[in-house]
Amino acid sequence: MIDLAGHAALVTGSTKGVGRSIALAVAAAGADVVIHGRAAGKASEDVLSDCRKLGVRAEFITGDLAGPTDIAVEQVFRQALAALPTTDILINNAGTYDDVPYLEMDLPRFERTMRLNVQSPFFLTQRFAGHWVEQRVNGRVLMIGSINGRLAEPTHSAYDTSKGAVEAMVKTLCVELAPQGIRVNGLAPGLVVTPLTSIIDEDPSFKRWMCLHTPNGEVPSSDVVGDGAVYLCSDAARHVHGQMLLIDGGMSSWQQPDMPANWK
């Protein structure tokens, strides 16, 4: 088992879905963890409790990373260090998407998607990196992207654009920060079951269709993302820089699956 004992991680957007799964995996590997969400509630209490049961220190902070970027980033940065001053892992998971046809997309919705998915991780990483360089800490940064950064989806133009930017960010920040002892990588899930993808359970035909387009035939829970996150933040990946790991069951490798003869 990969060991993260002695490390402390901030996981943004970690009260549910992929972020929650990553926080629990990081805690299971032995790292202390800062849980982040827009507001306290049952979801934050549950994930805190589950992390603490794993024998690590877990704290909760709030902050709306879709708000004005400079204010939100500073708020989250300062709260995280106050909660766990030894934080040396930043996992930029908080994100959003709009299911809106391109011709109906408006500027406010587009800008909100970019603030949360691109601007906030860009500048939150900058804030932590500056602190780590000053303190001579070998930090680790993980950007959570999406298969949508490589494969487009109708009515997801803003989201797809933002996730393409995240993948480019991984590469350029790697080049800038690796000489400073800071490792930057990314992780891109395919379709997994989260509160935001409830259509998977609500529409069996949609799930069948997505399984057909995935070589291993699965639409798994978000738990599959956690192990990859732990690996990329660990010493086992010490020579892995600027890479985007796709956890997608092979979907991104398959140009066009064959239609079964009995498909309905």
In a domain, 133, yes or no: yes
In a domain, 2, yes or no: no
CATH number for the domain spanning 160: value is 3.40.50.720
In a domain, 3, yes or no: no
In a domain, 165, yes or no: yes
In a domain, 36, yes or no: yes
Whether residue 73 has pLDDT greater than 90: yes
pLDDT at 264: 60
In a domain, 101, yes or no: yes
Whether residue 186 has pLDDT greater than 90: yes
| Total structural domains within the chain | 1
pLDDT at 191: 86
Per-residue confidence at 127, pLDDT binned at 50, 70, 90?
Answer: very high
In a domain, 258, yes or no: no
What are the DSSP calls for the chain, one per residue? ----TT-EEEETT-SSHHHHHHHHHHHHTT-EEEEEESS-SHHHHHHHHHHHHTTS-EEEEE--TTS-HHHHHHHHHHHHHHH-TT--EEEE-------B-GGG--HHHHHHHHIIIIIHHHHHHHHHHHHHHHHT---EEEEE--GGGTS--TTBHHHHHHHHHHHHHHHHHHHHHGGGT-EEEEEEE-S-B-GGGTHHHH-HHHHHHHHHTSTT----BTHHHHHHHHHHHSGGGTT--S-EEEESTTGGG-S-PPPPTT--
In a domain, 256, yes or no: no
Domain that holds residue 231: 8-250
